[in-house]
Amino acid sequence: MKHGYVRVGACTPHLSLANPKSNAETILKELLNADANEVSILCFPELSLTGYTCNDLFFQRELQQETLDSLFWLLDESKNIPILFAVGLPIAFDNKLYNCAALCLEGKLLGIVPKKNIPNYAEFYEARHFTAGEEIGTIRIRGNEYPFGTNLLFEAVNMDGLSIAAEICEDLWVPCPPSIAHAINGATVILNLSASDEIVTKSKYRRSLVSTHSAKLITAYIYADAGIGESTTDMVFAGHNLICENGKILAESPLFREGLLMQDIDIELLTQDRIRQSTYVKSTTNIETKSYTKIRFTLLSRDTITMRKENPYPFVPRENNEKEDRCEEILTLQAMGLVRRLSHTHCKHVVIGMSGGLDSTLAYLVTVRAFDILELPRTGIHAITMPCFGTTSRTHSNACDLAHFYETDFDEIPIQKAVEQHFADIKHDPNVFDVTYENAQARERTQILMDLANQFGGMVIGTGDLSELCIGFATYNGDHMSMYGVNASVPKTLVRDLVAHVAKNSSNEIRNVLEDILATPPSPELLPQKNDDMTQITEDLIGPYALHDFFLYYMLRYGFTPEKIFEMAYIAFDGEFDKATIKKWLDIFIRRFFNAQFKRSCLPDGPKVGSVTLSPRSDLRMPSDAYSKTWLDAIERITIE
């Protein structure tokens, strides 16, 4: 698949306990089904050819031989199935019995990985039957040599970054799983063949364990669990399968259901994040060093569209409960950043420009929260509205009402005459509505705020958000400047949810004002309006903030190419924007992003609240004179079918 995607699966087949031939036939059917669904990598449960609960039957030579017969039958029957799959079975070698994962592809047995950590506590008695896995090298099975050991890596020769390793059940649950060394040595996909019995609350712990481990190792983790066909003499198995990637649960099967779970993982995302996290490779000094045997294979390139659909609003959680918690956490982070700055400077007065728009509203709400935390009187918050040529009565009244309901200090300072005098001073025709006309108003407002801050012995609170800073939609030394920018790492799509969160938890009066602000389209209100109607709409000028925030997240967080971001956006927004529209605004995004770096190089302080921010001191060290040609050429290559 294109752009680093690989379709993977975890499968719990219908088990016939101690009947390897029947199980091999069932596994073959599941392989055919997975192939029809274009799966490329598939993991089956621990001891899936025999069943995990055979107990002392594992000592029976007949079962051992029948299992090997079934494995080689399965290999022969799967010669034309282009899936790398891992199946579990017991293997006797050198007077020992090992619990193994056999990794197979197109009729070939690529290698065998034995279980390293053998549980022998509570309901588990594996040490009665199995020996702990070792780094043996090779073993001979029926006249042929096969790689065997806990130090095998399976690397795709035709896909950068795809490296597979396997561990078995308990290997994950120990303090230092083998997968730690696997990942440090290059594995980006970990297969876990498991037989984890189900008891109360265990599924919740398992879910947390697998997802957290994938985040820690920056891997995709495919967990295939034994199901209801196992013996219920003392345990019940639920087939709890999981596909996780870098801390996210991409897919999860319901308990007590057999069959295939599949999802597309993003190898490029994993490798890019490993590059970005500089301590990843350095952490090798903290683990046992080992030499790895690398087994190379070629995976069929499937020309298919990814089934993976990213959140079109990556800065905003999808689930309402999670969204509420996230909004509360972010508002607190913003407020606490300001609390620290105010307390350190012994500042009891702040000045904030109130336009009646979303950004200034959020900055105002954060400031109120900070003053309440410090138990400072809200009258120390000096909200200033400065109407001019483009101000509408709607935004003006919302700014006034908000300050009134929160009982902060409020003043109105019209700036028309001052701006007209400035036009006269610089000999600018006031009938020419160009960038000079607009920026003169923004800078006049900033001058007033700064001077008032001097009068009050306070500081100016910035209102600009992450999205505006990204595309340079801010007047240099105008709204671009403040003493502390509380919204500096909050994108426009998230600003809306934060204000909505406050509205939901406010009195009716405040809620009504905030909801009207939320319903007002973003506008700089710098050009004269007709009949008091808002005609200068920001998104008509620069494009949808939803797209810009999507582009911003995947470009800065993972360094993805424009082609990949384009494809992801088209799928994520699911028809909301056609391909031509996405390509148009992606081109504009790249141009504006590169051209605006000089504005970001001198940003005021402001709190980081998420994984993507543009502060020149912490997250984005970018030259102001870099050329965007490489990225624009990539966009030019995108075809619109």
Contact between 356 and 399 (Cβ < 8 Å): yes
Going by C-beta distance under 8 Å and a sequence separation of 6 or more, which residues neighbour residue 9? 34, 37, 39, 41, 42, 43, 222, 243, 260, 261, 262, 263
Given 11, 30, 43, 115, the catalytic residue: 115
Residue 57 CA from chain centroid, whole number: 46
Separation between Cα atoms, residue 638 and residue 474, nearest integer Å: 30
The amino acid at residue 545 is Y
Q: Which amino acid is at 625?
A: D
Q: CB of 415 within 8 A of CB of 444?
A: yes
CB–CB of 326/317 below 8 Å? yes
Q: Of 30, 38, 46, 230, which one is the catalytic site residue? A: 46
Give 432's strand partners: none
DSSP state of 528: P
Going by C-beta distance under 8 Å and a sequence separation of 6 or more, which residues neighbour residue 404?
410
3-state secondary structure of 56: helix
Is 46 an active-site residue? yes
Sign of the four-CA dihedral 218, 635, 157, 80: positive
Q: Is 36 exposed, middle or buried (0-12, 13-18, 19+ CB in 10 A)?
A: exposed
* Half-sphere exposure of residue 401: CA atoms within 13 angstroms, side-chain side: 18
Would you call 281 exposed, middle or buried from its count of C-beta atoms within 10 A (0-12, 13-18, 19+)? exposed
Q: In 3D, which of 470, 525, 459, 513 has the Cα closest to residue 494? A: 470
Q: Tokens 């999507």 belong to which residue? A: 550
Closest by CA position to 555, among listed 543, 545, 568: 568
Contact yes or no for 178/171 (Cβ under 8 A): yes
Distance CA 300, CA 81 (A): 10
Q: Which of 169, 244, 327, 470 is catalytic?
A: 169
φ/ψ of residue 449, rounded to 5: -60, -45
- Positive or negative, the Cα torsion across 179, 184, 185, 188? positive
Q: Return d(Cα 292, Cα 155) in angstroms, integer.
A: 12
- Rounded-to-5 percentages of helix, strand, coil across the chain: 45, 20, 40
Cβ(236)–Cβ(197) under 8 Å?
yes
Catalytic positions, written as ranges: 46, 115, 169
